[in-house]
Amino acid sequence: MTPASKASLDGFYAAKRLAIIGVSRKGGDYSRMLFSALRKKGYDVVPVNPAVGEVDGVACKASIKEVAPAVEGVIVLLPAGKIDGAVRECAESGVKRVWVHSALKKNLAALEAPGICAGKGIDYISGTCPFMFLPGTPFPHSLHGGLVKAFGGAPK
């Protein structure tokens, strides 16, 4: 897996309309914290989860295919077995930037998602936490991101 470049990360966060596939119904979940943080930063964020009706007053879509107008980027927060299907839907929907994040990075090695994205000209990001590179990210993610940058682990 090729690490994300700084240009890819900057391009992702330059977009203003994003979707998060896999937003949880649980308020304290990572996906919900990320959703809230992005909204506080002024992003127009669409939650996507077929099992959730709304997130913080925003209607949740069952699939990225239902999102209109289109989003500029998608963060995928799903179990490894569901990621490829979600990325295929992103490709079919014309999404140009996809960020796959999983706490279990070892499960990402066998994914078809990087190839799907490469074949469609989609900028693919994986292997790094969206919070760590979100401009003005809250603590403790800012600390984690700062440490990664300080020790040379940040994308170049």
Q: Where are the domains of the chain?
A: 6-150
Mean pLDDT of the region 84-108: 87
Q: In whole numbers, what is the pLDDT of the chain averaged over residues? A: 86
Whole-structure pTM value: 0.88
Pairing mode of beta strands 58-59, 73-76: unpaired
**How far, in Å, CA of 46 to CA of 38, rounded?**
10
The CATH architecture annotation of domain 6-150 reads 3-Layer(aba) Sandwich (3.40)
Number of C-alpha atoms within 13 angstroms, CB side, residue 156?
Answer: 4
With bands split at pLDDT 50, 70 and 90, how would you rate the model's confidence at 1? very low
Q: What is the pLDDT of residues 118-139, one digit of tens each?
A: 999 999 998 788 888 787 766 6
Helix, strand counts (H, E) of the chain: 5, 7
**How far, in Å, CA of 44 to CA of 60, rounded?**
13
